[in-house]
Amino acid sequence: GENVEQHPSTLSVQEGDSAVIKCTYSDSASNYFPWYKQELGKRPQLIIDIRSNVGEKKDQRIAVTLNKTAKHFSLHITETQPEDSAVYFCAAGDSSYKLIFGSGTRLLVRP
């Protein structure tokens, strides 16, 4: 079955710097790659997603890249702000129901 690995498990950056979180997946049938942000005590919320027919997607300070050949995808946050501090989960899914999640990255943005 699908396996998603996420690195790093914790990431600390200075406010204004960039943050990059990387995920790899094992199932070549996966074609949907969402990223969720979970703030302390709150629900996971989708921040950006990418499908396998594109290599990159941007939304303001957030971007995601996908390398299908290497089976990895990354989340890039530029100009980080303290409110970006949270746990970020990547996931991989296909046309079936199942989303397999990575183990999460705890991002701390230091003011």
Partner 1 sequence: DAMVIQNPRYQVTQFGKPVTLSCSQTLNHNVMYWYQQKSSQAPKLLFHYYDKDFNNEADTPDNFQSRRPNTSFCFLDIRSPGLGDAAMYLCATSRRQGNTEAFFGQGTRLTVV
Neighbours of 71 (CB within 10 A): 16
Nearer to partner 1, 74 or 104 (CB): 104
User: Binding residue for partner 1 (CB under 8 A) from 19, 21, 34, 50?
Assistant: 34
Contact 86, 39 (CB under 8 A): yes
99 in contact with partner 1 (CB under 8 A): yes
The tokens for 51 are 């499908």
User: Binding residue for partner 1 (CB under 8 A) from 75, 77, 80, 102?
Assistant: 102
27 in contact with partner 1 (CB under 8 A): no
Q: Binding string, 43-62, against partner 1, x = CB under 8 A?
A: xxxx--x-x-----------
Contact 34, 48 (CB under 8 A): yes
Nearer to partner 1, 99 or 108 (CB): 99
Cα angle for residues 8, 11, 16 (degrees, 5° grid): 135
* Site residue total, partner 1 (CB under 8 A): 28
Which of 108, 26, 18, 31 has the alpha carbon at shortest distance from 63? 18
Nearer to partner 1, 37 or 77 (CB): 37
94 in contact with partner 1 (CB under 8 A): yes
